[in-house]
Amino acid sequence: MFGPSARRIALLAGLSIAVASPALAQSRDLADDPGIVPTYINPEEPADMAFPVMSHDFGTISDDAKAEYVFKFTNAGKGVLRIASTKGSCSCTVPAPSKREFAPGESGELRVIFDPKGKAGAQHQTVTVNTNDAETPVISLQISAMVVPQVMVTPRVGHFGEVAKDHVAEIELTVIGRKSDFAVTGVELSDPELFEATLSETYEAELAHDSEALLAEGVETEAKEPETVRECKIKITMKPGQDIGLIRNKTIVIMTNDEKNPSMTVELMAQHSGDILLTPKRITLGSIPAGGEFHREVTLRSLSGQPFKVLGIEHTAVAADAVEYSFTPIDPANPVAYKLVIDGVMPADARVLRGRFVLTTDVEREEQLYLHYYGQQRPSAQTSGR
């Protein structure tokens, strides 16, 4: 039988126990499982849920098999112990009590199932148990593991970085499988008109314990001989003709012959820069007193040095009448750069001053450029001292 002293020893060992009031415990019971009636804590005959062990480390495990552990406990109190609810900190951890009521002196078990699928590296999960324990109605059990994936893709996101307009960009993905017959069987691109992929044969390779692939997955391994794995390289090319700006929500799906990892999706991203550069890209006016004046200048220039035309400017804003602007080419004979001059006064009746310029050009896929500005009114000394 484990009494209060056993609980104190567990606390000194660094095990986490959360304490809450009975009312809070009951509200959590209902939130976890609306079908369970909140437990009543009887101070005259208190229950005491005592665990000899309140944490478990599964060690290094594969991501293709569930891991189980049984936490044993005893009702060391004078009254009946009632388990209102059990809940894991994520959907991959499923706690299941052997039953829900335990007489004084009776022992029980809480079986915890951890599914490491989709996980990699160090994992730390919490199982929360809500009971009518008089001292600690909410108890936390800890589980941990180092998950080593059977199939890895690095990098996890295919980011091309910043790509100049209509330049070709390439990245490489590495797919690693630990089974002796592992192979990549094919790929599918969400946008094959703008991306293309070529893959190598799947070949045998050595994986060092400190390889970039393992480090990217967050997997810590002890120094040992390199591991023999199966590897495939996938080269992805971003073709010219992309929209200007941030490219995202594009994917490549990698198919394999691994039954538990038949496909993996990698997002493709890039910052596709246009030829027309705005400097600055956004105007921050800062804090301006009522009636205070401001002056800002913005330049537009062609990175390629090709002349272009600005066909028009549209200005929309809060208190648009407070802002004036002018727009001229820096060298009319060679219009490869323009200057936008903005002057204004902070209105007394406006807390903020924000707006947007839309500049229309004759540059393909850069027909509209957006320039936002924002400022706020600085409180007067009289107002701020109230």
Residue spans of the domains in the chain: they are 4-148, 151-272, 276-384
Q: For 62-71, what is the mean pLDDT?
A: 91
**Torsions phi, psi of 219, nearest 5?**
-90, 125
Rg (CA), the chain: 32
Give the model's pLDDT for residue 222.
57
Q: What is the pTM of this model?
A: 0.67
Give the model's pLDDT for residue 44.
82
Q: For 314-339, what is the mean pLDDT?
A: 93
Closest CA to 172 of 219, 232, 212: 232
Does residue 250 contact residue 268 with C-beta atoms inside 8 Å?
Answer: yes
Q: Say whether pLDDT at 211 is over 50.
A: yes
Q: For 57-85, what is the mean pLDDT?
A: 93
Paired with 367 in beta bridges are none
State the average pLDDT for the chain.
85
- Give the pLDDT confidence of 261-284 residue by residue, as tens digits: 999 999 999 999 999 999 999 999
Q: Say whether pLDDT at 220 is over 90.
A: no
Tell me, yes or no, if the two domains 151-272 and 276-384 fold the same way: yes
SS3 27: helix
CATH architecture under which domain 276-384 falls: Sandwich (2.60)
CATH architecture under which domain 4-148 falls: Sandwich (2.60)
Q: Say whether pLDDT at 17 is over 50.
A: no
Q: Say whether pLDDT at 35 is over 50.
A: no
Is the CATH code 2.60.40.10 the one for domain 151-272? yes
Q: Say whether pLDDT at 10 is over 70.
A: no
- Per-residue confidence at 217, pLDDT binned at 50, 70, 90? low
Give the model's pLDDT for residue 361.
96
Which helix (DSSP H) or strand (DSSP E) does residue 234 occupy?
strand 227-238
Closest CA to 135 of 14, 26, 48: 48
